[in-house]
Amino acid sequence: MLTVAMATAAAPSYFPLYKSGKRFFADGGVWANNPVMIGLVDALVCYGLERRQVHILSLGTGDTEIRFTENQIVHGGLVDWYEIISSAMHLQSQNAMGQAGLLIGRDQLLRLNAPPMPDDPIALDDYNRSKSELPTIAAQLVSEHGQEMQRRFFFEEAAPYKAFYGPRALIEAE
């Protein structure tokens, strides 16, 4: 568990790579900022599902607007494109959603995301601001999309979760 946690926290723009044995790990967001296609492929291949059997509720973590500077448009190069990684992550996310929609049908897919905060986005490590602002954003998304989520994903009561590990598993085993 420690290796998994350290590997997924190894976001190169914030933290160094994590070394375990002879292998180095970086956060999956480096290449799959939006993991919708990874989950979809796993569902289709590992569980043998047909495409129309899959319904996806994709919860985003918020977007930022992509803005290109005049120098990026005209010149390019490392100096002008240094900060473009966030744009690449955004574009990867859009592409993953587009691919998933093509595979299972756009009517089988719902993406909820916080609106762009172009002037003052919440920093990744800003816990206090996240705690203050994100519940309101989540409530707004539920207000706007709650009926659709209920209709498409929460239409029947799920069986109670059976814990396999931890204190709940011990209690349930007694």
Tokens of 64: 């930022």
Q: Is 92 left (phi over 0), alpha (psi -120 to 50) or beta?
A: alpha
Model pLDDT, residue 79: 64
Lowest mean pLDDT among 40-44, 72-76, 135-139: 72-76
- Decide if 34 contacts 93 (C-beta within 8 A): yes
pLDDT confidence tier of residue 164, bands split at 50, 70 and 90: confident
Average pLDDT of the chain to the nearest whole number: 84
Model pLDDT, residue 1: 81
pLDDT per residue as tens digits for the range 69-109:
777 777 766 666 666 666 777 788 889 999 999 999 999 99
pTM: 0.69
Model pLDDT, residue 65: 67
